[in-house]
Amino acid sequence: MRYILKRLIMSVITLFLIIAATFFLMHLVPGGPFLGDKNLPPNILHNLNAKYGLNRPLYLQFFTYLHDVMMGNLGVSVKQQGQSITGMIATYFPVSMRLGLVAIVFAVVMGTIMGIGSALKNGKGLDHTIMVLATIGTSIPSFVVATVSMIIFGVQLKWLPTYGLDTIQSYILPGFALSFFPLSFIARLMRSSMLDVIHQDYIKTARAKGLSEATVIIKHAMRNAIQPVITYLGTLMAGVLTGSFVIEQVFSIPGLGRTFVDSIQNLDYPLIMGTTIFYAALLILMYLLVDVIYVLVDPRIKLSK
């Protein structure tokens, strides 16, 4: 319990620092959010600043913002009139989440299977093929996977849709592009940890007991070999999340990632801040969860440590 409490406090501190950093960085930008528009008359600019509370002392604005964030109110977008940011996140995030979950599940399942297969056939043809693929897979940027697979399967062969997320088929290309890197990474991770485990004494014991090969692999070897993959889950989620910025752009998916990138290009500061804080909170929570799960799965690590 103490461990979880300690991690929780660290997470809250990190989140606070992120909110503070984002807030003050945003206000460093000269001009503010309305300067990009056509030259507004000074009195209108003044009124706009007054309306959004931008003319008050910075530290007061910060405390107001902090209070609002804790209340779940992330402010309103300054570019898309009257749209509350919490509302926008509620609209767009589920789209990203569905795609992200598809990618994560695919990456973990396929990566684990490939890693185990590779480890069991260590040194044989299958092992080499999987490892060559995985090495290549970890060095191709996701936007390359996305665009090239889009050209091949969407534009040339016309097998799969190239935009939106309306049908089941339309999940295939973006999901594949999003999971390509983590899949390769997990396959490598799983292979090396499986190779470690397979030579342990308790595996020999299990075999000596006369258990079937499948039981030995699934019940004894895999359960222990999967630990590094669980540790990687937090990073994986961060990767899928940032990957979604690019993938949603390429496939015109109306998710939060694309909204975030658009808000950056429009310099919609409240939206940038709101989305960043949401993403950061989400990721920090995920890291925390992964740590807790890791401790629960591995009885060798004591919670009280």
Name the site residues for other proteins (rule: CB under 8 A).
10-11, 13-14, 17-18, 21-22, 25-26, 28-31, 135-136, 138-141, 143-144, 147-148, 150-151, 155, 238, 241-242, 245-246, 249-250, 261, 264-265, 267, 272, 276, 279-280, 283-284, 287
Q: In terms of CB distance, is 146 or 194 closer to other proteins?
A: 146
Q: In terms of CB distance, is 10 or 50 closer to other proteins?
A: 10
Token code pair at residue 172: 């295939």
- Phi, psi at residue 84, to the nearest 5°? -80, 145
Four-residue CA torsion sign, 197, 140, 127, 236: positive
Q: Is residue 84 helix, strand or coil?
A: strand
Give the shortest CB-42-to-other proteins separation in angstroms: 20
Using CA atoms, how far residue 262 sits from 27, 78, 94, 99, 202, in Å, is: 19, 13, 18, 19, 54
Q: In terms of CB distance, is 43 or 265 closer to other proteins?
A: 265
Q: In terms of CB distance, is 89 or 284 closer to other proteins?
A: 284
Q: What Rg do the C-alpha atoms of the chain give, in angstroms? A: 24
Give the shortest CB-261-to-other proteins separation in angstroms: 5
How many C-alpha atoms does 50 have within 13 Å on its Cβ side?
Answer: 6
Amino acid (1-letter code) at residue 1? M
Q: Is 180 exposed, middle or buried (0-12, 13-18, 19+ CB in 10 A)?
A: buried
Give the shortest CB-15-to-other proteins separation in angstroms: 10
Give the shortest CB-132-to-other proteins separation in angstroms: 10
Q: In terms of CB distance, is 4 or 211 closer to other proteins?
A: 4
Element (H, E) at 47: helix 42-51
